Every structure is written in structure tokens, then in C-alpha cells.
Structure 1
């Protein structure tokens, strides 16, 4: 539809104008992700929103007393650009950007003299619903607009052997900001929770299952399979995309069983692409084996199909020295190393994803001051590389989920920008 409309010169002018706005709000999103946001207490006067979850998603060691929305829509889709820029919020009392409420929500930056009307994503009522006396929100979290996320276990056996990933905060933040009483959620409560969440929210289209390692790699996969089998009817009735983030099994044939159980896509996250740095930052995963993880991803590519085998790395950590000293971190070197990771995964037919490093006082690497401009530049180049590689089927709207889903990174935004620019040049 958009392509047909581009046939008129008038529409081409309007399209390019909107494309510049889309790109600028991507830059603001990069700023918010890299530097966080502060808040004015009066935002509580506004309408209801899903409040910020500290566990896993904090930006700063400081805590906040005022409620903060989980996500805000910076650029809503429209007739010209049918894509959305939506950003996760992380609290940072020192950020130049702050959220205010004055006849609507305002994103402000006094230093830049900028102000934008923004909209928090529509709230769920998960806090008011219960599964076995536990709030639904402690079992299922809404991510962005259309993803139901479940962390099966906040514990990982790497912690027992002191070989946890050096950036990981999953267990410590669970202990300090516990929302569910046990580290590992019972399978039945997860299944019941997902069924209730989809009854309550018609926008949900995806289920993301994530977990620390439970007992063994194969046992973790078997837990994922049990849940998939338990929601089979729900998945079929609502045409849900089911995604799993976990370590690959020892027995690769369990991936075939995941596919048979209903999984559509898998992530096996390599975290750091350089093999030597991987050994230091992810010592538990290193025992499984760097080359073996790549082999598992290639096996998954054949089982789940084109564009359905993913591996994520952490932007910010790719260029660290072997002593993990962050004081000499250089954003341009980081971009170079991160793009090498993108190319290396694409060469294997694996879809590269990235998340952005953050520190809230609970990991072994410590604070790292990111450069928002460099993050934006990387995201644009990332999107162009992934789009032109053809690893994502052209029928898909985004790299993973939808453009309204992945709010804590710019991977879908960069991909959509490349797609829109390509359309503009066609």
C-alpha cells in the first residue's frame, strides 16, 4: 500500500518528511536507553500505566519513589509511516530527559529546549488478577504492546559454581526486588497465567519464555517443552508465535522436540562474539563451548527455518579489555566490534540480536557510560546489514516480534528504518 502511494510526488515528499521524524525519534530512544530518564512526581496525576519493574530493567543504582511507566510511545504509527518507535524507560536521576505530566505526558529536555507529547502504553490489569494467590504480574509481564514474557526461573546453576555471566543481575535483583515467592515458577502456574493474560489482553500476539539454567541444560529444555505442550490449544486458537531464550541442550535432538511442541523460534545467546573475551565474560557458557554454541545455532536454523535461529550479544561489552576495565571504553571501537559480531552471525545464517548493557549495582563489570550517538549510529548500520542480508523473510515486519515489542533496544527500529529507506529509493 505504501509503495503504491509513493507513486505520487506529493506523497514522496510527505514520506521523506515523516521518515526524518521517525529517524529523529530513534535518536531520542537511543538517548533514553543509553542515559535513562528522570521523572517529576506529578506524573502520578495522569492515567494508569504499567509501572516500572526494577527487577532486571533498572538503569541506575538509585531508586525512585514516583511511579514510572514501563514504556512510552515516542512516534506512533500513521498512514504515511506504519511503524512505531516505543522506548523502555530506565530511571536515572541525572538524566537530561525527564517525564512530566501537564495536560498529558510530556518528555522534556531543558538543556536542548525540547518537549514532546508522549503516551505510555495501555495498562494491563495483571496486578488485580491472581494465580494460586500470586499476582498475575509476578508470573507474566507484558513487554511492549504485544508480547507476554515469562521468566521461568530467576536462578541459574552458574551461580552455584561461581561461573555466572559477569554482566548478569537476574538472581541478585530477584532476591532484592522479589515479586514471585520462589526463584522457579511452577509449570502449571505459568500455563494458567498465560491463559489468563491472553483472556485479559487482546493485543498479545507473542509468548517469550526465558530462564536461567535449571539443574541441567537438557532439563531446562524439557521444562520449556512442558510449558509449550500445556499452552498448545491457546497457541493454536490465538495464532501465537512462541519463542524461547535459553542455553542449547547437550542433546541437539531436543531442539526437534521443541519444534514439535510448538516453538517457532529460539535464541541461544552468545553474549560476546570474540572467543577470548567470551571465555572471561561468560565462563559458564564457555564450559559448554563457544564453537558448540555456534553449532547449536546452525542446527536450530535447519530445524526452525530461515530467520528463526537467533543469538543476542550485549552492546557495550564487545570491546572490553580482558581485565574488563570500563574506564577506557571507546564507543567507536565498540561499534566496530559490534558490527563484526553482526557480520559473523549473518555469515552463518543466524539472526543477530543485541541488547544494551546496563548496570544497577548487581554485576561484576560495573558502571559503563554509553554514548547515545554511537548507539544510534550502530543501530542504523545494524538495520541495514540485517535487511540487506536477506536472513529475515521479506514478509516479516521486523527482525523479531513486531515494531511495538522490543522496547529496550533499537534492533527493530534500525531494521525498519533500512526497510523504509529502501522503499523510498525504490
Structure 2
């Protein structure tokens, strides 16, 4: 597969047949890297464990942000290699250079600590250009029959890489340093689920409010559907810009198997919550993760994404990223062709509805590094998918 991609996604990327061919090849490469991982011959910044893009390196490939497995068995056997060059890196397969890549330097704020001695990196991390933190590193489902099998939220806590609960003041302090020292452009705050009726929404929103007051950056907070949907108004009143309310899969049988706690909530309750959230936060400012590769029915998945798009929700489609130590640690990522097929259907439908990643003010849909969707948007905008 010869691609030879250089530079970023310019406005005229797909203005010619050759441009469209190159863009399609780049989009396929990004998905293939997420499926097969990347053998890293020179160190790059990344992260292990936790609730985010685990066991992954963080890169810009052909101008697109990307998290790609670098620290697991999949990556060790990958046909792709990252090689250091005079100006950044190159992505190679079988000795052939396919694309430019640029890494993220170790964030400078990681070398700081709070007045009581907590390293800043235990409070929040930089995911390329986004500051992110799990504000409460425990979950009511963890260690029970309702535990999400793909999740590793408490693994980084057990390994001593974070603290159990971050305060609004700590997060504001560290996020400000991430902005000033390392150029963070937005903030994503998630949390383990709580037994409380608000499912932890109020606390993560308080944290988001403190961060926004200190930094002025747009903020996304993520939580499960609260029992009382008026909680969404409270979250909005705290100045939060976007919400992540993640159903994970639209296949009810798969949801019951991989996320029993969420299955108790029910997929229809997610739709009810999203509808109210879109009324408050606006179209494209509410997102849901949709994980591929867990045995889901692809037709159900596409229809669920289309229904979400129709009410203004951005379905963030990602391949399964098995987390070492999780209940799905031995699972395999989905085949790249399957992921690309779903991505094309979803991104095409989003383009018909005028929904693009550039609409999102903050969060996963803004960052896009864990998905291959953004590279398809220029093609979808021209009806070339």
C-alpha cells in the first residue's frame, strides 16, 4: 500500500481525483494503525492504563491527531513501524515510507507538583492538545457483576499513577499550567459512575466550572444519564460547553454482556437524556462513544448512530482498544476494513445533516485522536464516500 502522505488536511485536500485518492488512503491508514498498532523504534509520549486512550502513543499522522496502540501485544506484532527522522518521524511498512508523523514532547507541566507534593501528572494528563482527567477514579460498578468489561478506570489507581479524587482547585491549578506551559486548547473531564441520583454529574461539573474560571478553555464533562434530567440544566448553568454521555453500543445484547450496569439504564434512556441535553447545549455539543469490535450488529450500530445524529448527538465511533488488566484484555481490535466501513456510513450521514467535528467546542469529538472519522470528513463533504 503506497500512500506517501505529507503535511496536514488543507482546505483543497480533495479538490482533485488524486487528492481524494490520497485522502482516502490516509483515512484507511489511520484506521489500520488503530487496528494493528505501531512498533515504536524511538520513544514517544503516551500513557498506560486508566479510563482514556490506554497503552497508546500520541501522534499527529499526516496532520491528523491519533492515539495508536504502542504498548501491547498487538503493537508488538504490527506491520507498521515508527522511525525517527531529522524532522519528526515517518510511518513505515515493509521498509516503505507511508506518512509523516510528529510526536508530542513530554508536557512541561508534568514536572510540577502541588503545594502538598502531588505531581501534576497524577491529577491530569495532556492528550496531544487536550487536558484530560478522571476526577473520581473509582466506579460503583467496579468489581461487581455490573462492571464494564472494556474499562480500566481503577487500574491506574491501583498502580499508583493517579489519586482517587481530584478537587476543583487542584484541577484548575493543573489545567492552567497545561494551557500556559503546553498549549492545551480544551479540557475533558470524566468520572467513574456514582450511586447518587445524579450519577456524579454535579461533582464533575463543579470541577469543570473551576477549570473554566481559571483557564477560559472550553470544557466537556462526561457522566451517565442522571435520574432527574433537570441536573443537565445545573451542569449547563456552571458554564460547561459540551457533554459526553456514552452508551458504548447500540446493540442491546452486546450492551448487556459488556456493560451490564449501563444496560440496566437502557438505551432508550440514553436517547431521552440526549434529546434533553441537545435542547440545552445545542446540536453537536453532546457526544456518545460507540465502540466497534465487541460483536455488535453493524446494521443496528449504523441505525443507532443515524438516530443519534438526527437529534443532534455526535456519535464518536472508535475501535475497541483492549486495556491490559481489564476484563477484555485478551480481546482483539476489530478488523480495519470493518471499522472503515462503519465510519464511512456514519460520516456520510453526518455530512448530509451538516454535522462535522469542527462543530464540537471541546472533548472527544473535538480532539478526534481515538477515531478515524475526521479524515473522512473532507470526502464526505464532497459526496465522495
Which is further off, 253-262 or 362-371? 362-371
- Of 229, 235, 240, which residue of structure 2 is paired with 1:258? 235
Q: Does 1:410 align with 2:372?
A: yes
Q: Given the alignment, which residue of 52, 62, 65 partners 1:86?
A: 65
Determine whether 1:28 maps to 2:29: yes
Matching residue of 1:327: none
The alpha carbon displacement at 1:383 in A equals 1.1
Q: Secondary structure at the residue paired with 1:270?
A: coil
Which residue in the other structure is 1:191 paired with?
172
* TM-superposed deviation, 1:29: 0.9
Contact 2:60 2:102 in 1 (8 A): yes
In the aligned structure 1, how far is the partner of 2:141 from the partner of 2:288?
19
2:253 matches 1:271: no
**TM-score, normalization by structure 1:** 0.77
The DSSP-based 3-state class of the residue aligned with 2:76 is coil
SS state at 1:95 partner: coil
Corresponding position of 1:170: 153
Give me the whole-angstrom Cα distance separating, in 2, the residues matched to 1:313 and 1:306. Answer: 18
Residue 221 (structure 1) shift: 1.3
- Please list, as runs of the form range in 1=range in 2, the aligned pairs for 1:11-410 lying within 5 A after superposition: 15-40=16-41, 43-44=42-43, 51-56=45-50, 57-58=53-54, 70-76=57-63, 85-91=64-70, 92-104=75-87, 105-110=89-94, 113-131=96-114, 132-145=116-129, 147-159=130-142, 161-176=144-159, 178-180=160-162, 182-202=163-183, 204-218=184-198, 220-235=200-215, 238=216, 240-317=217-294, 319=296, 335-365=298-328, 366-390=330-354, 392=355, 397=358, 401=362, 405-410=367-372
CA deviation map 1:294-336 (0-9, x unaligned): 21111111111222222222111252xxxxxxxxxxxxxx543
Q: TM-score, normalised by structure 2?
A: 0.85
Are 1:318 and 1:337, in contact at CA under 8 Å, matched by a contact in 2?
A: no
| 8 Å CA contact retained: 1:269, 1:311 | yes
- The CA deviation string for residues 130-152 of structure 1, in whole angstroms up to 9 with x for no partner, is 2242222222222233x211111
| Distance (whole Å) between structure 2 residues aligned to residue 151 and residue 318 of structure 1 | 28
Structure 2 CA distance for aligned equivalents of residues 348 and 58 of structure 1: 31
Question: Aligned partners of 1:18, 1:121: CA distance in 2, in Å?
Answer: 27
1:341 & 1:362 partners in 2: Cα distance? 30
8 Å Cα contact 1:403/1:413 also seen in 2: no
Alignment root-mean-square deviation, CA: 2.9
Kindly indicate whether the alpha-carbon contact (under 8 Å) linking 1:22 and 1:75 is maintained by their aligned counterparts in 2. Answer: no
- Secondary structure (helix, strand or coil) at the match of 2:288 reads strand
Contact residue 320 and residue 333 of structure 2 kept, 8 A: no
Q: How many residues align?
A: 366
Q: Tell me, in whole angstroms, the C-alpha distance in 2 between the residues paired with 1:255 and 1:403.
A: 19
Q: How far has the Cα of 1:38 moved from its partner?
A: 1.0
CA spacing shift, 1:311–1:200, aligned 2, 3 Å: same
Measure the CA separation in 2 of the matches of 1:218 and 1:54.
Answer: 29
Counterpart in the other structure of 2:4? none
Rg (Cα) greater in structure = 1
Between the aligned partners of 2:344 and 2:38, the Cα distance in structure 1 is 23
d(CA) in 2 for partners of 1:129, 1:191: 14
Cα distance in 1 for partners of 2:288, 2:229 equals 16
CA distance in 1, matches of 2:269, 2:208: 25
Distance 1:187 1:317 in 2: 35
CA distance in 2, matches of 1:352, 1:115: 29
Residues 382 and 415 in structure 1, CA contact (< 8 A), matched pair in contact too: no
Aligned CA distance change for structure 1 residues 222 and 403 (closer, same or farther; 3 Å): closer
* CA distance in 1: counterparts of 2:198 and 2:13, whole angstroms: 53
Aligned equivalents of 2:258, 2:97: Cα separation in 1: 39
